[in-house]
Amino acid sequence: MIPENIILNFGATLKQYSKERPIFNEGEQADFYYQLKTGHVKMFNLTEEGKEFVQGFFESGNSFGEPPLFGDFKYPATALTLVDSDIYLLPKAAFFDLLKLHPDIHLNFTKMICKRMIYKAKIAREVSIYPPEHRILTLLHHLKSNAKVTHHFEVPLTRQQISELTGLRVETVIRAIKKLEKTNALAIIDRKVVL
């Protein structure tokens, strides 16, 4: 996250998006650094047949869609606002100037990318060598680790949303969660998943 005064100094513009609006689409050339001031953004892939895979959710303060800037790549996913959002747009060249003049920001950026990298590597592992229950549990623990509560964490997601985030079908998620309940890996209280 780049401080507001600095990003504005380098020529960023603040753009308003209404909810459910695309910010960029998979396959497009990456020309801007995007940083969410307020709102919520979802990044995802979609097949022709309508199958969706969610790469991540972003909230206030997060930047997103940066990797393709570092090598003239196309966006590997589509970004969409979920609610009305204000987003800073910084042209690619200005972004690089900024990193050059602010080594501390560059280092923070690298740290953030590396953290995401580790998470992606974990996901890759889960998906190919562990069963659905494991995958769901990894997601839930990841969410819990990002929450403030340390016990009795009420998962703020519907089965459908868990389905989108794991790439599993809703029915599979429902059945897997029941299995996990039986092994006491989690509890279902008033239909809510708790751990």
Partner DNA sequence: ATGGGTATATGATTTGAATCATAAAAATAC
Partner DNA sequence: GTATTTTTATGATTCAAATCATATACCCAT
Length of the chain: 195
Residue 160 in the binding site for DNA (CB under 7 A): yes
What does 151 interact with, of a second copy, DNA, none (CB < 5 to 8 A by kind)?
A: none
- List the structure tokens of 82: 């979920």
Say which entry of a second copy, DNA, none residue 170 contacts (CB below 5 to 8 A, set by partner kind): DNA
Residue 118 touches a second copy, criterion: CB under 8 A:
yes
Partner that binds at residue 57, options a second copy, DNA, none, CB closer than 5 to 8 Å by kind: none
Stretch that binds DNA, among 8-16, 70-78, 140-148, 172-180 (CB under 7 A): 172-180
**Contact status: 54 vs DNA (CB under 7 A):** no
Interatomic CA distance for residues 59 and 50, integer angstroms: 25
Judged by CB under 7 A, the chain residues 102 through 131 that form the site for DNA are 131
Using a 10 angstrom Cβ sphere, with 0-12 exposed, 13-18 middle and 19 or more buried, the burial of residue 189 is exposed
Contact criterion met (CB below 8 Å) for 179 and 148: no
Gyration radius from the chain CA atoms? 18
Is 188:140 a contact under the CB 8 Å cutoff? no
What tokens were used for 38?
A: 């307020």
State the residues that interact with a second copy by CB under 8 A: 45, 47, 51-53, 55, 66-71, 73, 76-77, 99-100, 103, 106-107, 109-111, 113-118, 120-125, 127-130, 166-167
